[in-house]
């Protein structure tokens, strides 16, 4: 752990900036695969320059399906410290492809062996809150009970709470219960890492995230929330009986409530997020005639430091991550 005393978060933000710059060129073009590929390539390239011996624990998937930033891939220069990484070059690929708000690039780092990865279980049921309600939530209780506990902790009416929920058919009953309880709902199409992190920042207007989302995203969100004193609780969510049986064979605890400390077993966590499209937390990439501007949040759990970084990137730097051929007027060149 002592080897992590260097503030790696300041180096990691360069990786999210690179991914955001690459992905931003695909904003609104309707091709989420191309956007994701560009972001992955840029992030991987920049990670190779970070002085660490890192291994991707949460990434783009298994090696056979993900040629880069796959689970188990070694990244960095190969020097200490030995680290676990959770990467999401684009949290919200559909948001990016459709030019919608809230797409971000994120990466989290902690000491080796501290990040949890549930093999074969793609989804988790989650509840996440900021520091004020960190000790109030209990995922074993109903959404209504949790909303009342959160409202009491925040000293406000349930009717004033805003709940972020992924807009999915599986959440219809959850949405109906939240509305019966009297709280407000903000539906999001994608991006539940940002949705969870928003609960810790009052300016976002979001008080709690509820619902079923990706397991990898839960680990990334846990890393961020540990940096700001928030909380997340999750349970594994097998999609069908086959996945449930596989979980039993692997010895996974389906009834276990996972907290942030279970998902990231370290008190020295680094987290970086850069906006691709403008959302509630960070502004998106803005291209100019001279290059581009990015906005990022950088956090560290040990110190509790939160930094907001506005960066200007010269045109030559932006061109390093260019994956689309443009003519001199800025139009896409078609073969």
Are both 159 and 140 inside the same structural domain? yes
Are both 127 and 227 inside the same structural domain? yes
Are both 102 and 219 inside the same structural domain? no
Structure confidence by residue, pLDDT tens digits, 125-178: 999 999 999 999 999 999 999 999 999 999 999 999 999 999 999 999 999 999
Residue 88 marked as a ligand binder: yes
Of 263, 281, 304, which residue constitutes the final position of a domain?
263
Q: Is residue 248 part of a domain?
A: yes
Structure confidence by residue, pLDDT tens digits, 43-55: 999 999 999 999 9
What is the share, in percent, of the chain residues with pLDDT greater than 70?
Answer: 93
Encode 217-226: b = buried (16+ Cβ within 10 Å), e = exposed: bbbbbbbbbb
Are both 80 and 135 inside the same structural domain? no
Q: Average pLDDT for residues 77-87, to the nearest whole number?
A: 93
Residue 31 marked as a ligand binder: no
Are both 132 and 83 inside the same structural domain? no
Residue 217 marked as a ligand binder: yes
Q: Average pLDDT for residues 8-16, to the nearest whole number?
A: 89
CATH of residue 308: 3.30.540.10
* Domain span including residue 107: 3-112+268-320
pLDDT at 211: 97
Residue 327 marked as a ligand binder: no
Q: Is residue 281 part of a domain?
A: yes
Residue 169 marked as a ligand binder: yes
Are both 214 and 164 inside the same structural domain? yes
Residue 321 marked as a ligand binder: no
Residue 238 marked as a ligand binder: no
Task: Quote the pTM value.
Answer: 0.91
Residue 202 marked as a ligand binder: no
Are both 7 and 91 inside the same structural domain? yes
d(CA 216, CA 317): 30
Residue 262 marked as a ligand binder: no
pLDDT at 9: 78
Give Cβ neighbours of residue 205 (< 8 Å, ≥ 6 apart).
162, 280
Residue 278 marked as a ligand binder: no
Q: Is residue 255 part of a domain?
A: yes
Question: What average pLDDT does the structure give for the chain?
Answer: 91
Q: Is residue 221 part of a domain?
A: yes
d(CA 55, CA 73): 6
Are both 204 and 313 inside the same structural domain? no
Are both 308 and 207 inside the same structural domain? no
- Strand partners for 292: 287, 313
Structure confidence by residue, pLDDT tens digits, 258-298: 999 999 999 999 999 999 999 999 999 999 888 899 999 99
- From first CA to last CA, the distance across the chain in angstroms is 52
pLDDT at 243: 85
Are both 249 and 294 inside the same structural domain? no
Are both 188 and 233 inside the same structural domain? yes
Are both 256 and 283 inside the same structural domain? no
Residue 92 marked as a ligand binder: yes
What is the share, in percent, of the chain residues with pLDDT greater than 90?
Answer: 76
d(CA 162, CA 44): 36
Domain count within the chain: 2
Q: Is residue 327 part of a domain?
A: no
The residue among 14, 46, 31, 41 whose CA lies nearest residue 93 is 31
């Amino acid at each position: 752990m002592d080897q992590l005393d260097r503030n790696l978060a300041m180096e990691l933000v360069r990786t999210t900036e690179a991914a955001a710059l690459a992905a931003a060129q695909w904003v609104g073009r309707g091709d989420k695969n191309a956007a994701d590929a560009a972001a992955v390539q840029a992030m991987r390239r920049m990670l190779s320059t970070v002085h660490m011996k890192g291994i991707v624990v949460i990434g783009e998937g298994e090696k056979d399906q993900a040629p880069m930033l796959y689970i188990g891939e070694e990244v960095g220069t190969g020097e200490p410290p030995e680290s676990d990484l959770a990467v999401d070059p684009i949290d919200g690929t559909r948001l990016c492809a459709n030019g919608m708000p809230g797409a971000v690039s994120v990466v989290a780092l902690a000491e080796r062996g501290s990040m949890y990865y549930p093999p074969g279980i793609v989804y988790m049921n989650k509840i996440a809150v900021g520091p004020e309600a960190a000790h109030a939530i209990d995922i074993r209780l109903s959404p209504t009970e949790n909303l009342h506990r959160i409202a009491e902790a925040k000293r406000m009416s349930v009717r004033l709470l805003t709940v972020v929920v992924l807009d999915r058919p599986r959440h219809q009953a959850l949405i109906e219960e939240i509305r019966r309880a009297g709280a407000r709902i903000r539906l999001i199409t994608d991006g539940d890492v940002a949705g969870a992190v928003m609960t810790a920042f009052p300016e976002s207007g979001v008080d709690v995230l509820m619902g079923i989302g990706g397991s990898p995203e839960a680990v990334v969100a846990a890393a961020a929330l540990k940096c700001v004193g928030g909380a997340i609780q999750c349970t594994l969510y097998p999609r069908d009986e086959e996945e449930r049986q596989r979980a039993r064979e692997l010895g996974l605890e389906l009834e276990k409530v996972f907290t942030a400390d279970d998902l990231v077993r370290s008190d020295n966590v680094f987290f970086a997020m850069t906006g691709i499209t403008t959302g509630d937390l960070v502004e998106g990439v803005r291209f100019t005639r001279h290059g581009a501007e990015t906005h990022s949040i950088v956090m560290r759990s040990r110190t509790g430091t939160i930094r907001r970084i506005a960066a200007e990137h010269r045109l030559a730097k932006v061109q390093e991550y260019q994956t689309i051929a443009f003519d001199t007027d800025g139009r896409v060149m078609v073969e």
